[in-house]
Amino acid sequence: MAEYSESKTMPISSAGEKSTTDMNVDDERQLGVFRKVTQFLLRWGIETHGISPIPIEKRIDKRIYQMFTIWFATTFNIIMFSTGSSGPVFFSLSIKDSLLVILVVNIITCAIPACFAVFGPKLGMRSMVLCRFSWGYYVAALPSILNVFTLQSFLILNSIIGGQALAAVSDKLDDTLGIVIIALISFVVTLCGYRFIHWFEKLVWIPNVIAFPILLGLAGGHLNPSTYPAVLPASAAQIISFGSVVASVNISWCTITPDCGVYHDAEASATKIFIYSYLGFFIPAMAWDMMGAAFAAAAPGVQSWSTGFQDGNDMGGLIAAVLAPAGGFGKFLLVLLAVSTSAACAPNLYSFANSFMAITPIFARVPRYVFTVISTAILIPLAIIGARSFYAVLVAIVNIIGYWSTIFAAIVLTEHFLFRKNYFSYRIEDWDKPNKLPVGIAALFAFLGGFGMVIPSMSQQWYTGPIANAGTGDIGVITGSVVAATLYAILRALEKKAFSGR
Question: What is 393-452 written as a DSSP string?
Answer: HHHHHHHHHHHHHHHHHHHHHHIIIIII-SGGG--GGGTT-GGGS--SHHHHHHHHHHHH
pLDDT in tens, 326-366: 888 888 888 888 888 888 899 999 999 999 999 998 898 88
pLDDT for position 28: 53
Backbone dihedral region of 439: left (phi > 0), alpha (psi from -120 to 50 degrees) or beta?
alpha
93 secondary structure, DSSP code: -
Q: Is residue 14 part of a domain?
A: no
Whether the per-residue pLDDT at 229 is higher than 50: the answer is: yes
| Dihedral in degrees, nearest 10, Cα atoms 243, 91, 312, 347 | 20
Whether residue 488 is contained in a domain is answered as no
Interatomic CA distance for residues 369 and 128, integer angstroms: 18
pLDDT above 70 for 29: no
Domain harbouring 139, CATH code? 1.10.4160.10
- Model confidence over 283-293: pLDDT tens digits? 999 999 999 99
Residue 310: per-residue pLDDT: 77
Mean pLDDT, residues 372-387 taken together: 87
388 band by pLDDT with thresholds 50, 70 and 90: low
pLDDT of residue 6: 34
Residue 219 has pLDDT above 90, yes or no: no
- The band of 453, judged by pLDDT with boundaries at 50, 70 and 90, is very high
Share of the chain above pLDDT 70, in %: 90
Handedness of CA 264, 265, 271, 276 (dihedral sign): negative
Confidence of residue 121 (pLDDT cuts 50, 70, 90): very high
Looking at residue 148, its pLDDT comes to: 94
- Cα of first residue to Cα of last residue in the chain, in angstroms, is 18
Q: Residue 466: which pLDDT band, with cuts at 50, 70 and 90? A: very high
The b-or-e profile of 143-166 (16+ CB within 10 A means b, else e) is bbbbbbebbbbbbbbbbbbbbbbb
**Mean predicted confidence (pLDDT) in 414-421:** 95
Residue 484 pLDDT > 70: yes
pLDDT in tens, 134-191: 999 999 999 999 999 889 988 988 888 888 888 888 777 788 888 999 999 999 999 8
Q: Are 118 and 277 in contact (CB under 8 A)?
A: yes
**Selection from 111, 131, 112, 122 nearest residue 51 by Cα:** 131
Q: Look at residue 179 and tell me if it is in a domain.
A: yes
pLDDT (tens digit, 9 = 90+) per residue, 87-96? 998 888 999 9
* 15 within domain boundaries: no
Q: Quick check: is 438 in a domain?
A: no
State the burial class of residue 25 (Cβ atoms within 10 Å of its Cβ: 0-12, 13-18, 19+).
Answer: middle
Q: Structural domain tally of the chain?
A: 1
Q: Is 421 inside any structural domain?
A: no
Range of the structural domain that residue 257 is part of: 25-410
Mean pLDDT over 32-52 rounds to 74
Reported confidence tier of residue 22, pLDDT bands at 50, 70, 90 = very low
Helix (H) / strand (E) element for 195: namely helix 194-204
| Any domain includes 420 | no
Q: Across 122-136, 174-188, 203-217, which has the greatest mean pLDDT?
A: 122-136
Residues in contact with 209: Cβ distance below 8 Å, sequence separation at least 6, in sequence order: 76
How many Cα neighbours within 13 Å face the side chain of 204?
A: 30
pLDDT of residue 24: 54
pLDDT band at 420 (very low <50, low <70, confident <90, very high): very high
Residue type, 261: G
Mean pLDDT of the chain: 86
Contacts of 195 (CB under 8 A, 6+ apart): 13, 15, 16, 17, 45, 47
pLDDT recorded at residue 394: 62
Asked if residue 234 is part of any domain, the answer here is: yes
User: Comparing 115 with 40, which gets the higher pLDDT?
Assistant: 115
